Chains A and B, each alone.
Chain A
Amino acid sequence: MNTIIHHRYALTVHPVHAIFLAGMLPWFLGAALADAAYAQTFDIQWNNFASWFLVGGLVFGAFALLFAVVDVFRPSQRARGIIPYALVLLAAWIVAFFNALIHARDAWASMPTGLILSIVVVVLTFVAVGLGFRTPHIRGAV
């Protein structure tokens, strides 16, 4: 019996896309943990860490989004599932950006909104990573 392998479909994201997509998670998880530590201790340094972690996650997220958007807008390479993935990723990024502005408030003014948003961002990013890695990446000509 012959098995035909379609090389045009690969069930992995592009490696660079993968790095930026998965890389968002530790940044945003770090931000949420730092926010929790600030809420526990009132030690301002945790608040500073969270602010920078959010920026790190936003930079990684911007590159991941770029890959997703390119895939969405090239019909020949638009795989099933790319739209929900791109939307969740975009939502994670927008909430994280909003959260970064909240974190620019001085001292406790960023709390508790900052902590809540950080948790929301982690959940959205987790979903985005999951969807992103399950969405086939289409290469080559039709």
Chain B
Amino acid sequence: MKNHRMKTKTVGWLAAIPLSAMMGVCVGQAGPSQVGPDPTLPKPERGLLPDMVIAKPAPWGDKTPTVPDGYTITAIATDLKIPRQTLILPNGDILVAEGKGGNAPNLKPKDVIAGIIKARGTSSVKGGDRLTLLRDTDGDGNYDVLTFAENLNAPYGLALVDNNLYVANQDAVVRFDYQPGQSKASGPPETVTPLPSDINHHWTKAMTASADGQYLYVGIGSNSNITERGMTAEVDRARVWRINARTGEHKSYATGLRNPTALTIQPGTDQLWAVVNERDEIGPNLVPDYLTSVQEGAFYGWPYSYWGKNVDERVRPQDPAKVASAIKPDYSLGSHVAALGVDFSNEAMGAQFADGAFVGEHGSWNRKDPVGYKVVFVPFRDGKPFGAPVDFVAGFRDKDGTTRGRPVGVTVDPKGALIVADDLSNTIWRVTPTQAAKSQQPVAVAQ
């Protein structure tokens, strides 16, 4: 088993000041009218060619992402194999799901060409299909990197309920037995339930457990951008399943959610929240990706309509009855930002970022003026989003297109840290309030 230490990179106070000044500019680019509960929606437009601006990958070198004053960012694991989502275990260990899924065939000449272009903006590393465990035995912020489980199938969603570690592979929810302090799975997992996985155009299976641990919510993305793989490919897609963790039985909890890429439960409630990626190729400011509370039994529009009842003319046959039943999501994050991670914050993150949710934005491809490529904080008040998102981790992409990282999963450590998975540089970043990091106590670990 590999067991090596990761070098720490810290952004000091001085370095953080000019960079945080830059972050204000980024908010302006996203277009303030596009964020919040009531985004401006222009008319759909599409030129002869879709706008494509692809990230130009570059190594971090001595650089790190930028964080607000009073926070420190550190790479706690590098050279991973496409890290996507993370889970903080009760003893402080961090579990990382690594993989790359999907087996959607190229159906049109366009798919072949677009596939080649888009691949340039992602990591060329092969997906790990494994869970990596990061452990900080002495609380100094340096993490050991251990392999917890291998031979999974594009694992993404992670949830721990008592001694059950649930992993959402791209084709099934599987369960490992987990004992506190365990650093390696005791055996292969058992299948809880298969998941819809034909084609898997949007393959990521986001997952979170209900507050009482009885249910698992799993996000199942659509099998196309906008039904261009046919209506039959969309059976059981673009929805959230609620799965009985014990029996594996499921029901569709909410539908019409094009690609629910991350799920989480609002602390102190039973309320499920999701970030959802909306459709492309009808303009730079359509359709907003969103953060929303997920209402049981609700229909959120895809494919027939967007942001409530705005009909998408690209879908045939149309369904006016479904459009009439579509509800609006809670909060727009802006079009094409590609939100892939969400988690609620807590007091330990510091007063300014205590009440709200962090959202990891992978970054756009279908926009001349790229957006996303950062982690934002959506402030909450009285349990609802309140005000514009604030940049929390930025500096992933330069103005000239040089891109060092792309954030995916974000997870808040109850002890006061934000864990960010970066699937371009294959790094796990840890952001801590600078004061809290100094006073942090070593974490006891059972061997």
Q: Which residues of A are in contact with B by a Cβ distance under 8 Å?
A: 42-45, 47-48, 51-52, 55, 98, 100-109, 111
Contact = CB atoms under 8 A, between A and B. Distances in A.
Nearest to B313: A108
Nearest to A55: B109
Q: Which 9 A-B pairs have the closest CB atoms?
A: A104-B110, A106-B228, A44-B230, A42-B316, A109-B314, A51-B108, A108-B316, A107-B314, A107-B228
Nearest to A103: B108
Contacts of B49: 101, 104
A42 B317 CA distance: 7
Contacts of B315: 107-108
Nearest to B108: A51
Interface stretch (B219-227, B267-275, B347-355, B368-376): B219-227
A32 B56 CA distance: 39
Pick the most buried of B231, B281, B314: most chain A CB atoms within 10 A of its CB. B314
Interface of B: 46, 48-50, 107-110, 224-231, 281, 313-317
B48 A48 contact: no
B48 A101 contact: yes
Nearest to A42: B316
A45 B230 contact: yes
A7 to B, nearest CB: 44
A44 B227 contact: yes
Contacts of A100: 109
15 contacts: A44-B229, A44-B231, A45-B230, A47-B108, A51-B110, A52-B108, A55-B109, A103-B110, A104-B50, A104-B108, A106-B225, A106-B226, A106-B281, A107-B314, A107-B316
Contacts of B50: 104
Contacts of A47: 108, 228
Contact of B314 (A43, A48, A101, A108): A108
Given A98-B48, A104-B110, A107-B316, 4 more contacts: A104-B50, A106-B224, A106-B226, A109-B314
A105 B114 CA distance: 12
A111 B281 CA distance: 15
Given A44-B228, A44-B229, A100-B109, A106 B48 contact: no
- Residue from B108, B109, B316, B317 with most neighbouring chain A CB atoms (10 Å): B108
A51 B113 CA distance: 13
Contacts of B110: 51, 103-104
Nearest to B279: A106
Contacts of B313: 108-109
Given A109-B281, A109-B314, A104 B225 contact: no
A5 to B, nearest CB: 47
Contacts of A104: 49-50, 108-110
Contacts of A103: 108, 110
A30 to B, nearest CB: 15
Contacts of A43: 230
Contacts of B230: 43-45
A64 to B, nearest CB: 20
Contacts of B225: 106
A55 B111 CA distance: 13
Contacts of A108: 313-316
B419 to A, nearest CB: 35
B127 to A, nearest CB: 26
Contacts of A45: 230
Contacts of B314: 105-109
Contacts of A106: 224-228, 281, 314
A106 B229 CA distance: 9
Contacts of B48: 98, 101-102
A100 B108 CA distance: 10
A44 B316 CA distance: 9
B111 to A, nearest CB: 9
A101 B113 CA distance: 12
A109 to B, nearest CB: 4
A109 B110 CA distance: 14
Contacts of A48: 107-108
B46 to A, nearest CB: 6
A60 B326 CA distance: 47
B108 A107 contact: no
- The winner among A44, A47, A98 for most chain B CB atoms within 10 A is A44
Given A42-B316, A42-B317, A101-B48, A107 B109 contact: no
